[in-house]
Structure 1
């Protein structure tokens, strides 16, 4: 009976992972599709709208789709934040492929949205910063949870098998390997922000 429950739980977790993969892929495709469609829209407008009205018209036309895309991205960040609250750090890994794709897409975004309002151009960078912040927080809290886990010294397996904490840490790091550049840049951006904040504080006190 317990074996069946274990198998059912495993199938449920695998199914959950599959659903996450589908959601990640879906969002990534939506980002790519938005860029392509926005580029086509911009090209079409250049042939039918007077030049001095093109960017303003383009800005209005893309707002609904762009807002929807950013709202979904913010929902992913919110889900990652809730996962951190539950100490479910592996769930936060979902943002890494998305963040990598957003950064790869940013040059096309920037060139396509050139000439639009600042509020329009700033939407993607704002989402990227949110994802970097929540991702760095997850990595830091995961490291802290490993260092401060009270079971790691007192509840060692008597049969010589690998401690569950070690196993979980290895699994997490294996999954993270595919995104080491993204994770490294994410942590570096947070260190840079902290340094600039510290410098600002020092200069304020120095006055």
Structure 2
């Protein structure tokens, strides 16, 4: 459609005030969902197994936001909507927040803060080990996300933050492994992740292919 082509041909740039409001909306959305989950838990509206529902909801939300952070770069480029790139760090922090709450829900409600049991679960259950490694890496990315840290780390910052792709892989493995026999949902997530990563695969292939 000509109108759509004209619309997409002009970069959608937000003013500082619009960007601030957009970020405020994201905060309201992500925090609002956490408040909703907390209220549902307090009022016993999380279903027959509220603990499982809470663990699953925080975990899938973290995975959804993680995939969204990977989607932002191609979206910002192809829409075009460059202001989106300025929201990636915000969303990335919420990935860590949701992932941390996912672990906290499991440790507090399922394991009752039994530290010996927690240690054995991390060591003996591979899918928990994988998830724990992904969370530790997420924590490193969150700690090093401020601009002043980025300036100090220079090139090492980009090398560290490229581990987001490893985190995504570990998160998908953790999620798939935890679902055991119910594979439809994990397969859908793998498919979505593959589609999101296709432009990057193409870029990496071109970089690695020798030119004659």
TM-score over 0.5 for the alignment? no
Larger relative contact order, structure 1 or 2 (CA cutoff 8 Å, min sep 6): 1
Q: Which of the pair is proportionally richer in helix? A: 1
TM-score bracket relative to the smaller structure:
0.3 to 0.5
TM-score of the superposed pair, with normalisation by structure 2? 0.38
Rg larger for? 1
